[in-house]
Chain A
Protein backbone atom coordinates (compact mmCIF):
# COMPACT_ATOMS: atom_id res chain seq x y z
CA UNK A 1 0.00 0.00 0.00
CA UNK A 2 1.79 3.13 -1.23
CA UNK A 3 1.45 6.46 0.58
CA UNK A 4 0.76 8.25 -2.71
CA UNK A 5 -2.09 6.82 -4.77
CA UNK A 6 -1.87 6.42 -8.54
CA UNK A 7 -4.15 4.56 -10.94
CA UNK A 8 -2.61 1.17 -11.77
CA UNK A 9 -3.00 1.74 -15.49
CA UNK A 10 -3.98 4.26 -18.15
CA UNK A 11 -4.07 3.99 -21.90
CA UNK A 12 -4.38 6.14 -24.98
CA UNK A 13 -4.00 6.07 -28.72
CA UNK A 14 -1.03 7.65 -30.50
CA UNK A 15 -1.42 11.42 -30.66
CA UNK A 16 -3.86 11.58 -27.76
CA UNK A 17 -3.47 13.23 -24.37
CA UNK A 18 -3.42 11.24 -21.15
CA UNK A 19 -3.13 12.27 -17.52
CA UNK A 20 -1.91 10.34 -14.51
CA UNK A 21 -3.06 11.42 -11.08
CA UNK A 22 -1.18 11.21 -7.80
CA UNK A 23 -3.14 11.67 -4.60
CA UNK A 24 -1.46 12.29 -1.27
CA UNK A 25 -2.34 13.74 2.12
CA UNK A 26 -1.64 16.56 4.54
CA UNK A 27 1.79 15.17 5.42
CA UNK A 28 3.12 15.25 1.87
CA UNK A 29 1.57 16.94 -1.16
CA UNK A 30 -1.07 18.73 0.93
CA UNK A 31 1.66 20.21 3.13
CA UNK A 32 3.09 21.97 0.10
CA UNK A 33 5.97 19.62 -0.59
CA UNK A 34 7.06 19.34 -4.20
CA UNK A 35 6.02 16.45 -6.42
CA UNK A 36 8.39 14.78 -8.84
CA UNK A 37 7.71 12.28 -11.62
CA UNK A 38 9.77 9.43 -13.07
CA UNK A 39 9.46 7.33 -16.20
CA UNK A 40 10.66 3.74 -16.20
CA UNK A 41 10.93 2.14 -19.60
CA UNK A 42 10.94 -1.67 -19.74
CA UNK A 43 14.26 -3.07 -18.57
CA UNK A 44 15.71 0.34 -17.71
CA UNK A 45 16.32 2.37 -14.58
CA UNK A 46 13.83 5.14 -13.80
CA UNK A 47 14.63 8.59 -15.16
CA UNK A 48 13.56 11.96 -13.85
CA UNK A 49 10.74 13.39 -15.93
CA UNK A 50 9.40 16.31 -13.86
CA UNK A 51 10.88 17.92 -10.73
CA UNK A 52 9.48 20.59 -8.45
CA UNK A 53 5.90 19.98 -9.63
CA UNK A 54 6.21 21.42 -13.13
CA UNK A 55 9.87 21.61 -14.19
CA UNK A 56 11.41 19.48 -16.92
CA UNK A 57 15.08 18.45 -16.87
CA UNK A 58 16.95 19.20 -20.06
CA UNK A 59 16.21 16.61 -22.70
CA UNK A 60 12.65 15.89 -21.60
CA UNK A 61 10.18 16.89 -24.34
CA UNK A 62 7.61 19.57 -23.59
CA UNK A 63 4.92 16.97 -24.31
CA UNK A 64 5.35 16.09 -20.63
CA UNK A 65 4.00 18.50 -18.03
CA UNK A 66 3.20 18.41 -14.34
CA UNK A 67 0.91 20.25 -11.97
CA UNK A 68 0.01 20.22 -8.28
CA UNK A 69 -3.11 21.36 -6.47
CA UNK A 70 -4.18 20.71 -2.90
CA UNK A 71 -3.34 17.14 -1.94
CA UNK A 72 -2.95 15.94 -5.54
CA UNK A 73 -0.70 16.22 -8.54
CA UNK A 74 -0.97 15.24 -12.17
CA UNK A 75 1.31 14.30 -15.02
CA UNK A 76 0.03 15.08 -18.51
CA UNK A 77 1.42 13.61 -21.70
CA UNK A 78 0.29 15.08 -25.00
CA UNK A 79 0.92 13.79 -28.52
CA UNK A 80 1.23 10.24 -27.20
CA UNK A 81 3.93 8.14 -28.87
CA UNK A 82 4.58 4.41 -28.86
CA UNK A 83 7.81 4.82 -26.91
CA UNK A 84 5.98 6.59 -24.09
CA UNK A 85 4.76 3.15 -23.04
CA UNK A 86 6.30 2.76 -19.59
CA UNK A 87 5.68 2.83 -15.86
CA UNK A 88 5.31 6.27 -14.28
CA UNK A 89 5.88 7.08 -10.61
CA UNK A 90 5.18 10.17 -8.53
CA UNK A 91 7.31 11.07 -5.52
CA UNK A 92 7.17 13.59 -2.70
CA UNK A 93 8.65 14.43 0.66
CA UNK A 94 6.61 13.25 3.65
CA UNK A 95 6.86 14.63 7.19
CA UNK A 96 5.20 11.63 8.83
CA UNK A 97 7.00 8.45 9.94
CA UNK A 98 6.33 7.15 6.43
CA UNK A 99 8.99 9.53 5.10
CA UNK A 100 11.22 11.22 4.38
CA UNK A 101 10.42 10.26 0.79
CA UNK A 102 7.34 8.45 -0.51
CA UNK A 103 6.42 7.12 -3.92
CA UNK A 104 3.20 6.33 -5.68
CA UNK A 105 2.54 2.73 -6.59
CA UNK A 106 3.21 3.41 -10.24
CA UNK A 107 1.00 3.66 -13.32
CA UNK A 108 1.45 1.51 -16.39
CA UNK A 109 0.85 3.55 -19.55
CA UNK A 110 -0.24 1.52 -22.56
CA UNK A 111 -0.19 3.11 -26.00
CA UNK A 112 -2.94 1.44 -27.99
Chain B
Protein backbone atom coordinates (compact mmCIF):
# COMPACT_ATOMS: atom_id res chain seq x y z
CA UNK B 1 0.00 0.00 0.00
CA UNK B 2 1.06 3.60 -0.57
CA UNK B 3 2.91 5.06 2.40
CA UNK B 4 4.63 8.36 3.04
CA UNK B 5 6.73 8.29 6.20
CA UNK B 6 8.10 11.57 7.48
CA UNK B 7 10.96 12.37 9.83
CA UNK B 8 10.38 13.22 13.47
CA UNK B 9 9.46 16.38 15.32
CA UNK B 10 11.88 19.31 15.38
CA UNK B 11 12.45 22.25 17.72
CA UNK B 12 14.28 25.19 16.20
CA UNK B 13 15.37 28.68 17.20
CA UNK B 14 14.16 31.71 15.21
CA UNK B 15 16.35 32.29 12.17
CA UNK B 16 17.38 28.64 11.88
CA UNK B 17 16.54 26.18 9.11
CA UNK B 18 14.73 22.86 9.20
CA UNK B 19 14.88 19.97 6.75
CA UNK B 20 12.14 17.32 6.77
CA UNK B 21 12.30 14.03 4.91
CA UNK B 22 9.45 12.04 3.38
CA UNK B 23 10.12 8.44 2.36
CA UNK B 24 7.67 6.98 -0.15
CA UNK B 25 6.81 3.33 -0.68
CA UNK B 26 4.17 1.21 -2.35
CA UNK B 27 4.21 2.99 -5.72
CA UNK B 28 6.56 4.20 -8.44
CA UNK B 29 8.11 7.30 -6.87
CA UNK B 30 8.79 9.05 -10.15
CA UNK B 31 5.24 8.65 -11.45
CA UNK B 32 3.67 11.14 -9.04
CA UNK B 33 4.39 14.60 -7.71
CA UNK B 34 5.20 15.32 -4.09
CA UNK B 35 3.48 18.32 -2.54
CA UNK B 36 4.11 19.99 0.80
CA UNK B 37 1.32 21.45 2.91
CA UNK B 38 1.36 22.80 6.45
CA UNK B 39 -1.23 23.20 9.18
CA UNK B 40 -0.55 26.04 11.58
CA UNK B 41 -2.57 26.63 14.75
CA UNK B 42 -5.70 28.58 13.90
CA UNK B 43 -4.66 29.06 10.25
CA UNK B 44 -5.92 26.03 8.34
CA UNK B 45 -4.03 24.28 5.58
CA UNK B 46 -1.41 26.21 3.61
CA UNK B 47 0.10 25.00 0.34
CA UNK B 48 3.86 25.36 0.13
CA UNK B 49 4.99 23.85 -3.14
CA UNK B 50 5.45 20.83 -5.38
CA UNK B 51 8.21 18.67 -6.77
CA UNK B 52 8.33 16.29 -9.70
CA UNK B 53 10.81 13.55 -8.70
CA UNK B 54 11.02 12.38 -12.30
CA UNK B 55 12.25 15.67 -13.74
CA UNK B 56 13.37 17.55 -10.64
CA UNK B 57 10.98 20.39 -11.48
CA UNK B 58 9.67 22.43 -8.59
CA UNK B 59 7.10 25.15 -7.98
CA UNK B 60 6.51 27.23 -4.88
CA UNK B 61 3.66 29.23 -3.41
CA UNK B 62 4.52 32.92 -3.53
CA UNK B 63 4.44 33.17 0.25
CA UNK B 64 7.32 30.70 0.57
CA UNK B 65 9.40 31.73 -2.47
CA UNK B 66 13.02 32.19 -1.48
CA UNK B 67 12.62 30.43 1.87
CA UNK B 68 11.76 26.86 0.88
CA UNK B 69 13.69 24.35 -1.18
CA UNK B 70 12.18 21.05 -2.33
CA UNK B 71 14.44 18.22 -3.42
CA UNK B 72 14.30 14.46 -3.85
CA UNK B 73 16.57 11.45 -4.07
CA UNK B 74 15.11 8.88 -6.46
CA UNK B 75 17.58 6.19 -5.35
CA UNK B 76 15.92 6.13 -1.92
CA UNK B 77 12.40 7.28 -2.90
CA UNK B 78 12.77 10.19 -0.51
CA UNK B 79 11.65 13.81 -0.81
CA UNK B 80 12.93 16.69 1.30
CA UNK B 81 11.60 20.08 2.32
CA UNK B 82 13.98 22.67 3.72
CA UNK B 83 12.57 25.87 5.20
CA UNK B 84 14.95 28.64 6.21
CA UNK B 85 14.69 31.87 8.18
CA UNK B 86 12.30 30.28 10.65
CA UNK B 87 9.91 32.51 12.59
CA UNK B 88 7.50 31.70 15.38
CA UNK B 89 4.70 31.80 12.80
CA UNK B 90 6.30 28.80 11.09
CA UNK B 91 5.34 26.61 14.05
CA UNK B 92 3.10 24.05 12.37
CA UNK B 93 2.61 20.47 11.32
CA UNK B 94 4.21 19.91 7.92
CA UNK B 95 2.82 17.25 5.59
CA UNK B 96 4.19 15.70 2.44
CA UNK B 97 1.58 14.39 0.06
CA UNK B 98 1.38 12.43 -3.17
CA UNK B 99 -0.26 14.12 -6.09
CA UNK B 100 -1.25 12.71 -9.49
CA UNK B 101 0.60 14.72 -12.12
CA UNK B 102 -0.95 18.09 -12.96
CA UNK B 103 -4.22 17.30 -11.21
CA UNK B 104 -3.41 19.40 -8.15
CA UNK B 105 -4.85 17.23 -5.44
CA UNK B 106 -3.32 15.01 -2.77
CA UNK B 107 -4.38 11.39 -2.70
CA UNK B 108 -2.08 10.23 0.08
CA UNK B 109 -0.61 12.10 3.02
CA UNK B 110 2.34 11.56 5.31
CA UNK B 111 1.75 11.41 9.04
CA UNK B 112 2.99 14.96 9.53
CA UNK B 113 6.04 16.48 11.21
CA UNK B 114 5.64 19.02 14.01
CA UNK B 115 8.08 21.90 13.77
CA UNK B 116 8.20 24.19 16.80
CA UNK B 117 10.02 27.51 16.48
CA UNK B 118 10.79 29.07 19.85
CA UNK B 119 13.58 30.98 21.51
Which residues of A does B touch, CB under 8 Å?
Answer: 2, 33-34, 36, 38, 40, 45-48, 51-52, 57, 89, 91-93, 97-106
Contact = CB atoms under 8 A, between A and B. Distances in A.
B72 to A, nearest CB: 18
Interface string B84-115: 00000000000100000001111111111000
A50 to B, nearest CB: 9
Interface in B15-73: 35, 37, 39, 44-47, 50, 59, 61-62
Nearest to A99: B61
Interface residues on B, range: 20 to 34
B104 A103 contact: no
Contact of B44 (A47, A92, A104): A104
Contact of A48 (B50, B59, B62, B107): B107
Nearest to A51: B105
Contacts of B108: 48
Contacts of B46: 103
Given A34-B104, A51-B107, A99-B61, 9 more contacts: A45-B95, A51-B105, A92-B104, A97-B62, A101-B47, A102-B47, A103-B37, A103-B45, A103-B47
Given A36-B105, A46-B45, A48-B105, A101 B61 contact: yes
